[in-house]
Structure formats: C-alpha cells, structure tokens
Amino acid sequence: MLRTSTLTSYATSLANLQRRQSEMSDAQARLTSGLRVMHASDDPTAAARAERARALMQRADSTQRAVDASRNSMTLTESALSDAGELLQQARELVTAAGNASYSDAERADVANQLAEIRKQLMGVANRGDGSGGYVFSGQGAGRPPFLDRPGGVDYVGTGGAVRVASDEPLPLTLDGGQVWLSAPTGNGVFETRTVAGSGAWIDAGRVTAPDQITGSTYSINFTVSGGTTTYSILQDGAATSVVNAPFVSGQAIEIDGMAVTISGNPADSDSFELAPAEPTLSVFDAIDRVVNELKTPLRTTAQITQTVQNGLRDLDSLSDHLQSTRSMTGEVLNRIDGVSGRLDDLKLFGETTRSDAEDLDMVQAISDFQNQQTGYQAALQTYSSMQRMSLFDYIKT
C-alpha cells in the first residue's frame, strides 16, 4: 500500500501553487505587453517571422523617407516652373504690346524696361533655393546659385545631370537647370527663320507642311529687285535649287522641301533670309535680352520692329512650351510618387500584419485563459489551506 507523508503532500501542493502562480504571472505579463511571443525562446519560428517582418517595415520606412524627399523637391520644382510660366506669359503680353504701330521709341523703351524686370524675376526663380542649403535647379549639386549673370549672358555654373533618390524607385531629387532654362528648341522646333540682311521685310516663324520631306539642310532666300520687280532665289547649303528668280508676293507662303514661310513687306535688293535646322540652344535669358536690346534701339523701321516682335513671340512660345513640358514631367513624377507611396503603405501593412500574426496576443482568448488560471490558482490556494489543517495534532486537540 502506497503511503504519502504529510511533508510530501505539503511539498506537492506548494509546488503546484507556485507553478500556477508563475503561469498566472506570465499570462499577466503577456496581457500587459499584448504579445504572445515576448522572447525568442517562447516560439523561435514565430520570433523569426516577426523579425523578418520588422526588417521589411524598416526598409519600407527608409524608402518612404527617400520618396518624401523627392516629393518635396519636385513640389518646389513644379511651383518654380509655374511661376516661370506666368512670368513668360507676362513677357509675351508686353512683346505683343510693343508691336503697336502707334508706339514711340520711348514707349518701346519703357516696354523693354518692364521686360528687363521680368528677366530679373526669372533669374530669381532659376536660382531658387530648396530650403536646405541647395538649389532647385542645381543638377547634381552646387554650393552656390546655379546660374551666373555675366556681361555676355547667363551661364549655368551648376553640375549638369540630375540626382535621384537612393531607393528601388528611380525618383529625381533635382533637375538639370541647364536643360530646363538654356536648352529650349530654337525656331518653331523643327527649323528657325532668321533675317540675314533686310530692313523692309520680315519673316514669320514658318511651319512644317510635309515632315517626311524635311532634309535638315540650311536654306537661304535671297531677294533681287530689278526694274521695280522683286524676285527671290533659294539656295540649299549654299548651292542653287530649282527656285531661281521666282516672283515675290508679300504675305504669300514660300514652300521648300516640306517647309513653308511667309515673308511680308517690301524686301530690298540683296535682302536675305535663312532657314536653319532647330537646335536645343534657346535660353530664356538670351531670348529676353535680344528683345530688350532691340526695343531700346531707336529709329528702327516698321519692318525691323515687326521682326523683333515676331521673333520675340516665337521664342517666348518655344520657351513656354519647353517649361510646360518640363512641368508636365514633374507632375508625372509627383503622380508616380503617389503610386510609390501607396505601394509602400501596402508593404508596411503586409509587414505589420505578418508581425502581428506571428507574435501578437489574441486578447479575447488570453483574457479567458487568464481568468481560468485565476480560478485554478484560487482553487490551489484553498486546497493548500485545507491541507495545512490536515494534521494529527489538530485531531488530538479535538
């Protein structure tokens, strides 16, 4: 027959009581922390999953900071390009007004002064800071304003190229200011019309009539006036073409190899105009400087003033289109940034869900388990208390 001593019963009951107290203490700690896995030893597999999820969220947070930096930079860039577009529109209105035939030289000089003030504002926009010691159009970075106004014109002294964020998404932090401000296409974007010599006629910006016939050559339209008759001949890269001594009619289009231009006025003998391939070399500042200088020049003919206005409007339109194209690109970047941010949010949500599934506590189940443990602990206390009274001496006393 198995005999159990009183001491053994006490020890067993006490050990059971301590075990239940320890379990209840652990359950209380999990309830307080909200975690099912507080130490890797609690569940090594779940702990590893949670650690991988935290690493994923940290990488997403790091990428989000880079994306936010790109968003801030592109927002500043878009704002600067918007300001520049408004200033160019003001300049265009002034150039249009300068073509008023009733304006005197003094009034045109006043328009030129207003254009010069707009140029100063554009210079300020081009050298706009980013609020952190850099510049919006600094390219790959510069510790000074990227545009320098010299007697011969404005130079880009920044570092060409663009900086992108260090992340999986190729998002820009800066734009190449030289490309933005100094590299618009000349002329109408395909070819540029120029006055080589002439004071009685002017030429428009021209247009493309047959893109497949464009040769990329340079054409000269040379005028001859003989016996009161005005004719013109066209040279291609200095060589004669089939157009020789063609009769000239003011305002009538002249077509050659997929291009059409209109020359108006009264060309003099030896007047000459040129059609050259467009190049990405048009500068915002040089274009305004040309108009300002020509409007300040007194005693110019009506044809010369008209040519100044025509060229000014053409260049300002090309510059506006170029800046608007850059602004549209910036807007597309901002849209892409929104998409990247959305994907990062989804990634962080996935990581948080994975971590939560691995180590978070089911509070409803945990509270139920804790209540059961409390009940068991109270039962163990009562049992131990009863056993303390189960002594031979207690029966002897009775």
Contacting residues for 266 by C-beta, under 8 A, at least 6 apart: 200, 201, 230, 250, 303
pTM attached to this predicted model:
0.79
Output the six-digit token pair for 393: 């001496």
- CA dist 105 and 116 (Å) reads 16
pLDDT at 1: 46
Is the model's pLDDT at 71 over the cut of 70? yes
Backbone φ and ψ for 137, nearest 5 degrees, come out as: -110, 35
Q: pLDDT per residue over 161-185, tens digit each?
A: 777 776 677 788 888 999 999 999 9
Inter-residue contact 267 to 200 (CB < 8 Å): yes
Q: pLDDT per residue over 215-271, tens digit each?
A: 999 999 999 999 999 999 999 999 999 999 999 999 999 999 999 999 999 999 999
Structural domains for the chain: 21-36+367-384 (no CATH), 44-182+316-360 (1.20.1330.10)
Q: pLDDT per residue over 8-47, tens digit each?
A: 656 666 666 666 666 666 666 666 666 666 666 667 887 7
- CA dist 263 and 231 (Å) reads 12
Inter-residue contact 195 to 273 (CB < 8 Å): yes
Average pLDDT of the segment spanning 173-202 = 92
Is the model's pLDDT at 138 over the cut of 80? yes
Output the six-digit token pair for 223: 């005028």
